[in-house]
Amino acid sequence: MNGKAQSERQEEFLRMRIFIPAAISMGALLLLAVMLYFEQIHSGEARQKQISRQSIRQIRIPARRGMIYTSDLLPLTENRPAFELLFYPGEMKKKTRTGSVEHILKCADAISSQAGLRNGLTKKSVETHLALRPGLPIHVLRDLGDETAARVMESARGIPGAEVQPMETRAYPEHALACHLVGWTRPGDPRQAPDRKEYAYYLPDKVGVSGIEKLCDGVDPVTGQPGLRGIPGYSLIQVDRLGFARKSLIERIDPVNGTHVVLTIDSFMQKTAEGLLRGRQGAVVAVDAGNGDILAAASSPGYDLQLFSPRILRADYAKLRDSSDRPLFSRALQGMYPPGSIIKPLFALAYLREGVDPEKEIDCTGSSEIYGIRIRCAAHRRGGHGKLNMHDAIKYSCNVYMIEYARQLGPVPLQKMLDAAGFGRKCGIGLPEAAGIFPSDSLKRRRTRIPWNTYDTALLSIGQGLIAVTPLQAAIYCAALANGGTVFRPNLIERAVDTAGQDLWVRTPVKKGTLPVSPEQLKLITDAMLDVVSSADGSGRNAAVDGMEIRGKTGSAEYRKNGEMRVYAWFISYAKVSGRTIALAIVAEDGESGGKTCAPLAAEFFSAIQGR
């Protein structure tokens, strides 16, 4: 019995020895079957895409950049044809990777040297390219002009894998014209591009860095319309198992070229304004008083935009950046200057609004005394202007008259009128601009810890002290005097146009405010401004032009520079020219006075555009 039981146990043990390995084998086969199912069926599509990616490369194609024009369609930008030298690694391979790198560098050195150019390739850059992008061309030399490209082509002749291909570069045919408005571009950095990972090879766009080039660069977030940069396309190419291929196109999606931008700037007026400032530091802004269009916005000194095409040299940029004349600084939009007497028409309106009788005379003895401090008038050397009313106070630019009523009324009426005219805040042009300095007790306390006093009010009434405005703000204010009191938001862009010439957007004038005065009050002041220019003894008589009715106001504000007292010379004016009223603001740094320095410039401007 024991023997039989033992035999059964042995048989059972043998069966288990066979069953367990069999079960393990069956389990392994079942697991393998499940894995194969998931690999081939469930994950098959993903694997196919992965295999496809190993043989297909997506290449980004940048769009053609839109143009920038003046309102009379003078092109301020161009997309000029240029050339680049490419190396195709697949046709320059040697037996070893090291041999390929050395051969590529040797060829690049030879071609660059013979063409008189600097070879930008390094051993590291070539090694990186061969490791990561062996199927795509190496860019050896970019942005080559016709003559240089011809020399490069001759030098590259007979070298397998070397090819000169066309490309485009951004150019500025008018050089320095409206440079602070137009701005410049530079090649985009693929490493910082948000869509970099979508492409095996990334051809970057030209990216706007400043001015309109930057403001209108990308897709409009509201309308979805492409900006100057456009929308890129792409092409798919197939490469061999090692990743080498010169060209095997599978598919191409063309880019959507950039939108054209038409500015409100009139090319003749802009050239005229810039000519007035030649050799000076200052700004000229001309505005259509009827809608706020900026017809000219000149800042001097300027710079040649062509220096930035295709890219500016570091030494050239450092020279512009570090210059004491600040040529990169837009004085028209960002310069902040005490307005001096050009602000007197606005404050005279504030006096009228407070009930001041415009016919009441004030006796000007040549100066006003506040807290023992004398503030002189322009006529102080001859004992003052004598008795004058509001009209004559504007005509002769009398400080004593303005100070007397400012002392009586206090700063609030002046501040309210400044606010109504848009001073102390940005105009909303879209480009970088200054807000100016708005006079207030809180600002003075922050700066000096001293409260506002009567002396501050007196200085404010003649446009000095704690106040600063930009030339753009001055032109918009002058336009409001000219159009009946409407303060417009300035327009710099007239319209956006697609590549077929269809308008995508057209500017609509935007009213930002109104001077709170009656037509009669405004006429009283503008009639005085007419006498400023048309009278033989008016402070702005040097702005007179035969056959034109010009209304204006001079201004001079003192400031200290290098320990010396200097003058910011101002002149604002407006006149009807060819059916529209043009408001003009001119400021000259280190001038003599508004009447002697800037009024003659206004005469030149209006004379030049008369009858066009």
Provide long-range contacts, Cβ within 8 A and 24+ apart, for 403-408.
403/368, 403/370, 403/375, 403/458, 403/461, 403/462, 404/362, 404/368, 405/351, 405/356, 405/362, 405/461, 406/347, 406/457, 406/458, 406/460, 406/461, 407/370, 407/454, 407/457, 407/458
Distance of alpha carbon 322 from its chain centroid, rounded? Answer: 20
In this prediction, residues 446-452 reach a mean pLDDT of 96
On the question of pLDDT at 295 being above 50, the answer is: yes
- Give the other-Cβ count within 10 Å of 535's Cβ: 16
* Separation between Cα atoms, residue 458 and residue 375, nearest integer Å: 9
Amino acid at 519: P
| Amino acid residing at 298 | A
CA–CA separation, 588 and 599 (whole Å): 11
Residues 342/474, Cβ–Cβ less than 8 Å:
yes
Q: What's the angle, vertex CA 564, arms to CA 558 and CA 568, rounded to 5?
A: 30
Region at 123 (left for phi over 0; alpha for psi -120 to 50; beta for the rest): alpha
Residues 6+ away with beta carbon under 8 Å from 138: 86, 87, 88, 89, 104, 121, 126, 129
**150 token code pair:** 């011809």
Structural domain boundaries in the chain = 79-167, 267-475+490-609
- Of 367, 390, 370, 409, residue with least CA distance to 527: 390
Mean pLDDT across 330-349:
98
More confident residue, 5 or 117: 117
What gap in Å lies between CA 239 and CA 57, rounded to an integer? 7
Give the Å distances, CA to CA, from 275 to 52, 93, 159, 271, 605: 62, 58, 52, 6, 9
Please state, in angstroms and rounded to a whole number, the distance separating the CA atoms of residues 338 and 327.
Answer: 21
Q: Which residue has the tokens 């690049």?
A: 108
Which CATH number fits the domain 267-475+490-609, given the four candidates 3.40.1360.10, 3.40.50.620, 3.40.710.10, 3.30.1490.20? 3.40.710.10
pLDDT of residue 19: 65
Backbone torsions φ then ψ of 242, nearest 5 degrees: -95, 0
pLDDT at position 308 is 93
Largest CA distance in the chain: 151
Q: How far is CA 250 from CA 86, 88, 243, in A?
A: 21, 19, 15
How high is the pLDDT of residue 248? Answer: 61
> Cα–chain-centroid distance for residue 131?
39
Q: Encode 561-588: b = buried (16+ Cβ within 10 Å), e = exposed.
A: eeeeeebbbbbbbbbebeeebbbbbbbb
Sequence-separated (6 or more) residues with CB below 8 Å from residue 134: 89, 90, 242, 243, 244
Residue 191 has pLDDT above 70, yes or no: yes
Q: Which amino acid is at 42?
A: H
CA 493 to chain centre: 12
Q: Residue 255 CB: number of other CB atoms within 10 A?
A: 18
pLDDT band at 511 (very low <50, low <70, confident <90, very high): very high
pLDDT score, position 612: 76
For residue 459, is pLDDT > 90? yes
The confidence score (pLDDT) of residue 147 equals 87
Q: Is the pLDDT of residue 176 over 60?
A: yes
- The better pLDDT of the pair 441, 198 is held by 441
What letters, b where the CB count within 10 A reaches 16 and e where it falls short, cover 278-307? eebbbbbbbbbbbbbbbbbbbbbbbbbbbb
pTM of the model: 0.85
Q: What is the pLDDT of residue 221?
A: 74
Mean of pLDDT values over 364-379? 94
Please check the confidence at residue 28 and state whether its pLDDT lies above 70. Answer: no
Q: Are 438 and 447 in contact (CB under 8 A)?
A: no
Q: Report the pLDDT value the prediction gives residue 171, as an integer from 0 to 100.
A: 94
d(CA 358, CA 565) in angstroms, rounded, equals 34
Mean pLDDT check: name the lowest of 148-157, 317-326, 464-473. 148-157
Beta-carbon-side half-sphere exposure of residue 257 (alpha carbons within 13 Å): 13
Span 222-233, pLDDT tens digits: 777 899 999 999
Residue type, 65: R
- What is the rounded CA–CA span in Å between residue 142 and residue 154? 16
CB environment 157-196: b (16+ within 10 A), e (fewer): eebebbbbeebbbbbbebebbbbbbbbbbbbbeeeebeee
What is the reported pLDDT for 267?
A: 98
What is residue 134's predicted lDDT score, i.e. its pLDDT?
A: 75
3-state secondary structure of 189: coil
% residues pLDDT > 90 (the chain): 67
Residue reference for tokens 């092109």: 75
Q: What percent of the chain has pLDDT over 70?
A: 90
Q: What mean pLDDT comes out for the span 239-255?
A: 66
**31-61 pLDDT, tens per residue?**
776 666 666 665 555 545 444 445 677 888 8
Out of 35-49, 231-245, 305-319, 471-485, which region has the weakest mean confidence (pLDDT)? 35-49
DSSP per-residue codes, 380-436: GGGT--EEE-HHHHHHHT-HHHHHHHHHHH-SHHHHHHHHHTTTTS----SS-----
31-47 exposure pattern, b = at least 16 Cβ within 10 A, e = fewer: eeeeeeeeeeeeeeeee
